[in-house]
């Protein structure tokens, strides 16, 4: 069965109880279920991982070259996660960057993403819906 990688970075394991006014009330488990529901129509399985450290995220990417695509929320590693960026540069399938919050409406230090130039697309500010939309985009982008 084809597998889609869902990768979430630092502090995203706290979703649901992390600044809900910014990130919403959905938990990471809710988001994983939503993505699984979206990609089930294509017969894909979701492999969901969350890590607080950059090294663990990189190891996951290196171990996931067999996945058909990925949805990546790098959290604050968007700002200066150069090693994460290099790991994604060698990831062979399309992937989409997602941010729950509208990072451009927030502090200036969140306005740059070092990984965005490598992504097939970027979705920001749509909350948990952004993950569903990323899943749909990958379904239409990735051939059978
Ligand atoms: C975030 C935005 C980042 O700036 C922040 O550091 C996060 C969450 C988002 O999903 O909105 O951890 O990636």
What's 106's domain CATH number? 3.40.50.9100
Closest of 77, 85, 59, 102 to residue 12, by C-alpha? 77
Catalytic residue among 23, 51, 91, 131: 23
- Structure tokens belonging to residue 64: 């996931």
**What is the predicted pLDDT for the residue at 72?**
98
How many distinct structural domains can be found in the chain?
1
Q: How high is the pLDDT of residue 14?
A: 96
Look at residue 144 in the predicted model and tell me its pLDDT.
76
**Which residue intervals of the chain are DSSP H helices?**
20-23, 28-40, 54-62, 77-80, 82-89, 129-141
**Of ligand 1's atoms, which has the minimum distance to the CA of residue 125?**
11
Q: Can you give the pTM of this predicted structure?
A: 0.97
Give the domain extent around 110.
Answer: 3-141
Which of the residues in the chain have pLDDT under 50?
none
């Amino acid at each position: 069965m084809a597998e889609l990688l869902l990768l979430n970075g630092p502090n995203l394991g706290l979703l649901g109880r992390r600044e809900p006014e910014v990130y919403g009330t959905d938990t990471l488990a809710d988001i994983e279920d939503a993505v699984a529901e979206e990609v089930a129509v294509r017969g894909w399985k979701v492999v969901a991982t969350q890590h607080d450290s950059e090294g663990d995220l990189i190891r996951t990417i290196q171990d996931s070259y067999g996945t058909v695509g990925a949805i990546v929320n790098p959290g604050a590693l968007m700002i200066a996660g150069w090693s994460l960026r290099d790991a994604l540069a060698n990831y062979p399938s399309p992937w989409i960057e997602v941010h729950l919050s509208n990072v451009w409406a927030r502090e200036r230090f969140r306005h740059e993403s070092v990984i965005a130039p490598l992504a097939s697309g970027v979705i920001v500010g749509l909350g948990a819906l952004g993950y569903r939309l990323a899943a749909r985009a990958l379904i239409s982008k990735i051939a059978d």
